[in-house]
Amino acid sequence: MSKTANPQRQLDTLFREAVALQQNGAYAEAEDVYREILKLRPKHFDAIQLLGALALQSGRLEEGIELLKKAVAINGMQAPVHSNLAFAYNALRRFKEGLASANRALALQAGFVDALNNRGNALAGLDAPADALASFEHALKLRPEFAQAWSNRACVLRDLGRAADALASCDQAIALQPTYAEAWSNRANALSDLNRPQEAQDSYQRALEFAPAFADAWNNLGLTLVDLNQHEQALQSYARALALSPASAEAHWNESLCLLQLGRLEEGWPKYEWRWKRDRIQAGQRVFEQPLWLGDFPIDGKTILLHAEQGLGDTLQFCRYAALVAGLGAKVILEVPSELVRLLGHLVGVTQLIEQGQPLPPFDCHCPLLSLPLAFGTELASIPAHTPYLFADTQTAQHWAERIADDAIEDTASRDLKVGLVWAGGNRPHVAELRKNDARRSITLDALRPILDTPQVRFYSLQKGPAAQQLAQRPELAQRLVDYTEELADFADTAALVANLDLVITVDTAVAHLAGALGKPVWILNRFDTCWRWMLEREDSPWYPSARLFRQPSLGDWDSAIESARAALAARADSAFAWIG
């Protein structure tokens, strides 16, 4: 009897010792004792699952998952083990597995708040923010003092575009746990969404007081410093993030954007390649058997596939490199979205144009369009800025010339300056980062009222998408614009109309690149936290000689930018009218 009891007593004593060590924060010592237990009894359930939890606490996620799976194989009826698995899967961004584990925990123990919290995080990772919110709120109904759930709730409220509610949720978390660094960082994120960068900076700094090694907070602080026009300090913040987390794709990416904004192109292009490691862009990376070309081997006599990525404006800006690639002796195949096929049909340097989604012909190597500046070592002085490099179809342009002339005669406006207007970019609400950029770069038709009041100007709407509906909502402004947009099927049609205008005034959207590539005078109403391609503190663009920038003097100050453009337009219209007269 004693022979069987003594080993059990020894195991019980060791287990109590290990638990006490773990509770007192002596994790390494606790881990040693758990492993000693497992030498004596390899299938000791509690030792395995607690050792797994310790591995998670130490950041050894893969090891923790394997241990917890072993525990589940011994006893799959313990909800905390499944919930811990959900936590680990979520941390590795394996959200489907995280959701499955959280749901299993809840099936075993309904109302298990830790599992509800982990389920919410999995749903958030799977881009189901409304369902995630419901899960967090269920947890908080059961445990209102659950600070982590308040903080996580804030993240999905931001995803749902409810930044003010997210801020309030973070404040709840902080009231419960004043030194909760992640809640302070999430609070700063919400303040950034609300265009309150100084307050955001203060909250990031509070987060970093409590957790100096919080790499994400250093990275996001960098973004806010950009909003405050403190770019050198932003670079220092990204450097701190990268010192802590050298493989952080977001920090490398943000550093690249800052370097490009500063005109430090030769430093920025290599960093820009980190875009392919970002969660949002990685899924769109093209994988071919043929090698990626980044200017690192000769392509004379080879066939290269250049493929579009990101937005239509990016394609319009960087398709100019096709001629340079052809100049190296390569046969160029260019793959682009359907909206651009007709417009790019005669692009210099392109041997074959392919619509995205269609079968590809044979090729020897490939390059994404936005990697071409890196391949050519583009610096400010070597930007291929010769325009026009895109051209409107002659016959279609003539059609619009006649149409505009006929309409102008009817309205006795034949001598007026002809100006195209775009007031909003695309709307991508499903991606928080893009939603924020879209909101900051766009304005309303109503905001253009001062420009629309300029005499001796005839305005033409070039606005497509949901924002075009504002014409119907503002009939008193709509009467100041000629709207042919229903007849514009693609960018070739838009180019033909633009070719007949004297000037295009637009926010930062694809039409800005179209007008610039056509060599048409284009005035860009630009947000303060400018896209990297427009750089900083300059009214011109090294990419488009015909472009002029009207920048916000501070974050969100559209009135000043619009007033500057109005004054310039009035002067141009007066000059043109006087010259004609």
Residue 286 belongs to some domain of the structure: no
Q: What is the CA radius of gyration of the chain?
A: 29
Q: Which of 570, 572, 501, 558 is nearest to 525 (CA)?
A: 558
List pLDDT tens digits, range 325-361: 999 999 999 999 999 999 999 999 999 999 999 999 9
Q: What is the pTM of this model?
A: 0.89
pLDDT for the residue numbered 557 = 94
Q: How many residues does the structure list for the chain? A: 581
pLDDT for the residue numbered 407 = 81
Q: At residue 179, does pLDDT exceed 70? A: yes
Q: What is the average per-residue pLDDT within 487-497?
A: 97
Q: What is the mean pLDDT of the chain?
A: 91
The burial class, CB within 10 Å (0-12 / 13-18 / 19+), for 9 is exposed
% of the chain beyond a pLDDT of 70? 92
Q: What is the average per-residue pLDDT within 574-581?
A: 59
Residue 370 belongs to some domain of the structure: yes
CA 126 to chain centre: 16
**Predicted confidence band of residue 380 (pLDDT cuts 50, 70, 90):** very high
pLDDT for the residue numbered 306 = 98
Q: At residue 578, does pLDDT exceed 60? A: no
Measured distance CA(375)–CA(293) in Å, rounded: 8
Last residue of a domain, one of 350, 382, 414: 382
Tokens 């590809």 map to which residue? 360
Query: What one-letter code names the amino acid at 410?
Result: E
Measured distance CA(87)–CA(69) in Å, rounded: 13
Sign of CA dihedral 503, 509, 514, 519: positive
Q: Are residues 431 and 372 in the same domain?
A: no
pLDDT for the residue numbered 6 = 65
**Predicted confidence band of residue 581 (pLDDT cuts 50, 70, 90):** very low
Measured distance CA(458)–CA(435) in Å, rounded: 32
Ordered DSSP codes for 302-343: -EEEEE--S-HHHHHHHTTHHHHHHTTT-EEEEEE-GGGTTT
Q: At residue 33, does pLDDT exceed 80? A: no
Would you call the peptide bond into 388 cis, given omega within 30 degrees of 0 as the criterion? yes
Last residue of a domain, one of 382, 417, 448: 382
Q: Which residues pair with 304 in a beta bridge?
A: 332, 365
Q: At residue 579, does pLDDT exceed 60? A: no
Q: Are residues 496 and 466 in the same domain?
A: yes
Q: Residue 437 in contact with residue 508, Cβ under 8 Å?
A: no
Q: Are residues 378 and 513 in the same domain?
A: no
pLDDT for the residue numbered 357 = 93
Q: Which of 332, 328, 330, 337 is nearest to 308 (CA)?
A: 337
Residue 521 belongs to some domain of the structure: yes
CATH of the domain at 368: 3.40.50
Measured distance CA(523)–CA(565) in Å, rounded: 8
Sign of CA dihedral 567, 568, 573, 579: positive
Q: Are residues 549 and 418 in the same domain?
A: yes
Give the Cβ contact number of residue 410 at 10 Å.
9
Q: Are residues 378 and 424 in the same domain?
A: no
Residue 387 belongs to some domain of the structure: no
pLDDT for the residue numbered 332 = 98
Q: Are residues 369 and 441 in the same domain?
A: no
Higher-confidence position of 202 and 72: 202
Ordered DSSP codes for 409-454: HHTT-TTSEEEEEE------TTSHHHHHHHHHH---GGGGHHHHT-
List pLDDT tens digits, range 440-477: 999 999 999 999 999 999 999 999 999 999 999 999 99
pLDDT for the residue numbered 409 = 63
Q: Are residues 376 and 505 in the same domain?
A: no
The burial class, CB within 10 Å (0-12 / 13-18 / 19+), for 407 is middle
Report the number of distinct structural domains present in the chain: 3
Q: What is the average per-residue pLDDT within 16-24?
A: 71
Measured distance CA(18)–CA(46) in Å, rounded: 11
- Residue 496 belongs to domain spanning: 394-580
Q: Which residues contact 410 (CB under 8 A, 6 or more apart)?
A: none
Measured distance CA(534)–CA(551) in Å, rounded: 10
**Predicted confidence band of residue 64 (pLDDT cuts 50, 70, 90):** confident
3-class SS at 161? coil
Q: What is the average per-residue pLDDT within 289-316?
A: 96
Residue-wise over 359-371: b if at least 16 C-beta within 10 A, else e? eeeebebbbbbbb
Query: What one-letter code names the amino acid at 522?
Result: V
Q: At residue 529, does pLDDT exceed 60? A: yes
Measured distance CA(387)–CA(186) in Å, rounded: 45
Q: What is the average per-residue pLDDT within 494-520?
A: 97
Residue 240 belongs to some domain of the structure: yes
Least confident segment among 7-16, 280-289, 391-400: 7-16
pLDDT for the residue numbered 2 = 40
pLDDT for the residue numbered 43 = 74
Give the CA distances from residue 535 to residues 33, 261, 321, 372, in Å, rounded to whole numbers and listed in that order. Answer: 58, 4, 20, 19
Higher-confidence position of 95 and 21: 95
Ordered DSSP codes for 13-82: HHHHHHHHHHHTT-HHHHHHHHHHHHHH-TT-HHHHHHHHHHHHHTT-HHHHHHHHHHHHHH-TT-HHHH
CATH of the domain at 510: 3.40.50.2000
Residue 277 belongs to some domain of the structure: no
Measured distance CA(402)–CA(404) in Å, rounded: 5
Q: At residue 3, does pLDDT exceed 90? A: no
Q: At residue 478, does pLDDT exceed 80? A: yes
Q: Are residues 199 and 142 in the same domain?
A: yes
3-class SS at 462? coil
Encoded tokens for 203:
């909250």
Q: At residue 296, does pLDDT exceed 80? A: yes
List pLDDT tens digits, range 259-286: 999 999 999 999 999 999 998 777 778 8
CATH of the domain at 184: 1.25.40.10
Residue 267 belongs to some domain of the structure: no
Q: Are residues 369 and 413 in the same domain?
A: no
Three-point CA angle 240, 241, 244, nearest 5°: 90
Q: Are residues 14 and 101 in the same domain?
A: yes
Q: Which residues contact 448 (CB under 8 A, 6 or more apart)?
A: 421, 423, 477, 562
pLDDT for the residue numbered 90 = 94
3-class SS at 380? helix
Task: Please state the three-class secondary structure of 173-195 as a single string.
Answer: HHHHCCCCHHHHHHHHHHHHHCC
Q: Which of 101, 46, 97, 50 is nearest to 75 (CA)?
A: 46
Residue 153 belongs to some domain of the structure: yes
**Predicted confidence band of residue 1 (pLDDT cuts 50, 70, 90):** very low
Q: Are residues 373 and 405 in the same domain?
A: no
Q: Are residues 527 and 549 in the same domain?
A: yes
